[in-house]
Amino acid sequence: MSLSSSLARPAGPGTRRSPAAALQAWLPKLVLAPSVAISLFFVYGFMLWTFVLSLTNSRMLPSYEFVGFAQYARLMANDRWWVASTNLVVFGGLFVAICLALGLLLAILLDQRIRQEGALRTVYLYPMALSFIVTGVVWKWLLNPGLGIQAMVRGWGFESFTFDWLVDPDMAVYTLVIAAVWQASGFVMALFLAGLRGIDDSIIKAAQLDGASLPRIYRRVVLPCLRPVVFSAVMILAHIAIKSFDLVVALTGGGPGYASDLPATFMYAHAFTRAQVGLGSASAMLMLGGVLAILIPYLYSELRSRRHG
C-alpha cells in the first residue's frame, strides 16, 4: 500500500482520488517506463555515442581525441564508400519498386476468388520464413555459372547461354535484388491481399453500376484505397534494404572485389575488422542521415494527408 500512496502524491492536493484510481492512472506509465528508458539509452544514447565517435580519431578501441569532421572527409574520398552508396540506391530502389509491383500483381491475381487460394498464398509467403543467410546461400548456388542456372541451361544444349551476373562486377548488385525480391515479394503480397479484402464491396459495386471497366476500377478505386498498405510496405521494405547485411555476406561476400558492397557491410568491415572505429562511425551516421532524409518527408506527407483526409 505504501507504493500506491506514494504514487498518489503527485496527483496534487486538489484532486481527491482514491489510491487505487491513482495507481490505475500511473500504472501504464510505470509499466512502460523501463522500455522507454531502455530504448532511450540503447537506441538514442548509442546513436549519440556513434556520432561522438565519428568526430574522433578512434582506431581499434574508442578514443576521445577529437578531429572534427576529418573522418567524414576521408569517407568522401573513399572509392569503396561511393561504390557502396551507389549500390544502396540501385539495390534499394529496385528492391522496393519490384517488390511493390510484384506483390500487388500477385495479390490482385489471388484475389480473383480462385481455388486453392490458401495453398498458393502459403507458397508465396514461405520464402519470408527463411533467413537471408539461407536465401543468400541458395541463390549463390543457383547463380554460380559453373553450378547453377547457366550450367543447367548449357547442359540442355544451349551452349552459348550465359547468366554470370554473380561473377560480373557490373551486374553483381542485381543478383542481390533478385534474391531479396524473391524473399520479400510474397510478404508484400500478403499485405496487399489483406488490404484488398478490407475494401468495402459496396464501393466496387457502385463503380460497376456506374459502368466502370475492371482496370479502371482497380486504378481509380482499389489502388487509392490501398494507400495505407503501400505506406506500410514501403516502410518495411526500405528498412530491410538499408539494413541488408546478411544477404550480401552470404550471396556475394561484397564481391567481385567490392563491387556489391553496401553501406552496412562497409561499416562493419571498417569498424570491426579494420580497426577504424572513427571511419566506421562516420559511415554509420551517414547511413542514418540517408534513412532520415527518405523517411521524414515521407512520414510527414503521409501523416499530414491522413489527418486532412
Partner 1 sequence: MNAFKKTPFVLAASLAGALSLSSAHAAEVEVLHWWTSGGEARAANVLKELMEAEGYGWQDFAVAGGGGETAMTVLKSRAMSGNPPSAAQIKGPEIQEWGELGLLGELDGVAEAEGWDTLLPPTVADIMRHDGQYVAVPVNVHRVNWLWANPEVLEAAGVAMPTTLDELFAAGEAIREAGYVPLAHGGQAWQDATVFETVLLATAGTDFYRQALVELDPEALGSATMIEALETFKRLRTLMDDDMPGRDWNIATSMVINGDAAMQLMGDWAKGEFTAAGLTAGVDYLCAAAPGTQDAFTFNIDSLAMFRVEGEEREAQQALARLVLEPTFQEAFNKAKGSIPARPDLDMSEFDTCAQRSQEAFRQTAEQGGLVPSMAHGMAVRADVQGALFDVVTNYFNSPDLEAEEAARRMVNAAQAVL
Contact positions toward partner 1, by CB under 8 A?
A: 57, 59-62, 67, 70-71, 74, 77-80, 140, 144-147, 164, 166-167, 169, 172, 252-253, 255-259, 269-270, 272-276, 278
The total number of residues written for the chain in this structure: 309
79 touches 168 (CB < 8 A)? no
260 touches 175 (CB < 8 A)? yes
Q: What is the DSSP string of 271-283?
A: IIISS-HHHHHHH
Q: Report the residue number, 162 or 305, with the smaller CB distance to partner 1.
A: 162
Q: What is the DSSP string of 22-89?
A: HHHHHHHHHHHHHHHHHHIIIIIIHHHHHHHHHTB---SS----B-TTHHHHHHHT-HHHHHHHHHHH
Task: Compute the least distance from the CB of residue 153 to partner 1, in Å.
Answer: 15
54 touches 284 (CB < 8 A)? yes
Q: Report the residue number, 4 or 78, with the smaller CB distance to partner 1.
A: 78
Task: Compute the least distance from the CB of residue 101 to partner 1, in Å.
Answer: 30
Q: Report the residue number, 233 or 282, with the smaller CB distance to partner 1.
A: 282
Q: Report the residue number, 79 or 201, with the smaller CB distance to partner 1.
A: 79
Task: Compute the least distance from the CB of residue 63 to partner 1, in Å.
Answer: 10
Question: At residue 266, what is the residue type?
Answer: F
Q: Report the residue number, 164 or 302, with the smaller CB distance to partner 1.
A: 164
Angle between helix 172-197 and 132-143 (nearest 10): 130
219 touches 133 (CB < 8 A)? no
CA 287/CA 293 separation, integer angstroms? 10
Task: Compute the least distance from the CB of residue 228 to partner 1, in Å.
Answer: 41
Task: Compute the least distance from the CB of residue 287 to partner 1, in Å.
Answer: 19
Q: Report the residue number, 103 or 254, with the smaller CB distance to partner 1.
A: 254
Q: Report the residue number, 135 or 252, with the smaller CB distance to partner 1.
A: 252
Residue whose C-alpha cell reads 555515442 in the numeric block: 49
Task: Compute the least distance from the CB of residue 198 to partner 1, in Å.
Answer: 44
Task: Compute the least distance from the CB of residue 202 to partner 1, in Å.
Answer: 55
276 touches 270 (CB < 8 A)? yes
CA atoms within 13 A on the CB side of 208: 6
Residue 31's Cα: distance from chain center in Å?
Answer: 29
Task: Compute the least distance from the CB of residue 52 to partner 1, in Å.
Answer: 15
Task: Compute the least distance from the CB of residue 165 to partner 1, in Å.
Answer: 11
- What are the beta bridge partners of residue 66? 56
Q: Report the residue number, 171 or 212, with the smaller CB distance to partner 1.
A: 171
Q: Report the residue number, 204 or 275, with the smaller CB distance to partner 1.
A: 275
| Residue 257 main-chain phi, psi, to 5 deg | 65, -125
